[in-house]
Amino acid sequence: MTAPQPQSWSGESAEFDEYAAEYQGGLDNPIKRMMGSSPDQFIAVKARWLLRREPQLLKGGLAVLDYGCGVGSLMRVLAQLGAKASFTGCDISTGMLEQVAKRWPAALGAPPALAPQQGAHTPFEDLQFDVATISAVLHHVPLEERPAVYAELGRVLKPGGRLYVFEHNPRNPLVRHVIARTPIDRNAILLDASEVRHGLLDDARYDLETDYLMFMPPGIAVLRGVDRLLTWLPMGAQYAVAARKAA
């Protein structure tokens, strides 16, 4: 297998557009299908973790940005779990953004506000959001363009705001195996949690913590407690870097 070739992240928008209508969160991979029967089961692991960190999401009043939101799965699952935030999503793929409203259940009310990205850059005001998430995005961003992503996230986040970075954990050999065989990830370059922490600190002052997630198959509810006991162990399929911006 040849190594991924660097390319412009903004140039990948057409590629993501091709996957938009049929996008199923990587469940075209048979090994991932063995771990869970729907993409939402994997997303819900992150959503439940986030709600434990941000209980205010259940009360309303927070402005939340999902950067690189894709088809809006994280925002939708959060809303289905009771989050009442003011959601905004952005993505480089207009095809993905077109899917957000189509997949947003009417029972959840109006779909999130949406905006296209120009590469790393967004049209939002400085210091606009209380909370920002970026989930399974950075591994698609070429190494030389990642600093611009960290800078943009820092720009739009309020002082004291919280940023949550979710990524595939390259320390987990099963993750590397699955990513290498998933079509939408064919150009992916996985990154360790330490790269995220250093990248954020190169741009702004943050208080940082890291948890590891998804040790157990996400579809088995009785095993969720095991995951919560192992957040310190750097072998989960996912990790979450929590960054609080200096006030």
pLDDT in tens, 175-188: 999 998 888 888 89
- What is the average pLDDT across 125-154? 97
Instruction: Name the residue with tokens 């899917």.
Output: 99
Mean per-residue pLDDT of the chain: 89
pLDDT tens profile 59-107: 999 999 999 999 999 999 999 999 999 999 999 999 999 999 999 999 9
Q: For 211, which DSSP code?
A: E
Query: Residue 84: which of 57, 102, 47 has the closest Cα?
Result: 57
Q: 161 in helix, strand or coil?
A: strand
Q: What is the mean pLDDT of residues 232-237?
A: 96
Total domain count, the chain: 1
Answer with the residue of higher pLDDT: 32 or 115.
Answer: 115
Q: What average pLDDT does the segment 184-213 reach?
A: 94
Backbone angles phi, psi at 233, to 5 degrees: -90, 120
Q: Residue 246, Cβ neighbours under 10 Å: how many?
A: 10
pLDDT value of position 8: 57
Instruction: Return the pLDDT at 4.
Output: 36
Q: Answer whether residue 210 is part of any domain.
A: no
Q: Read off the tokens for 190.
A: 């996985």
Residue 41 lies in a domain: yes
Read off the pLDDT of each residue in 40-54 and give the average, rounded to a whole number: 96
Contacts of 144 (CB under 8 A, 6+ apart): 6
Q: Give residue 23's pLDDT band: very low, low, confident or very high (50, 70, 90).
A: low
**Two tokens, residue 187:** 């150009």
Kind and range of the H or E element at 84?
none
In a domain, 202, yes or no: no
CATH number of domain containing 50: 3.40.50.150
Give residue 20's pLDDT band: very low, low, confident or very high (50, 70, 90): low
In a domain, 95, yes or no: yes
Q: Does any domain span residue 107? A: yes
| Domain residue limits at 65 | 10-161+171-189
229 falls within a domain: no
Q: Is 234 contained in some domain?
A: no
Residue 191 burial (10 A CB sphere; 0-12, 13-18, 19+): buried
Scored b (16 or more CB within 10 A) or e, 33-59 reads eebbeebbbbbbbbbbbbbeebeebee
Please report whether residue 223 resides in a domain: no
Residues contacting residue 43 through CB under 8 Å, at least 6 positions apart: 25, 73, 74, 77, 135
Strand partners, 162: 131, 244
d(CA 121, CA 28): 30
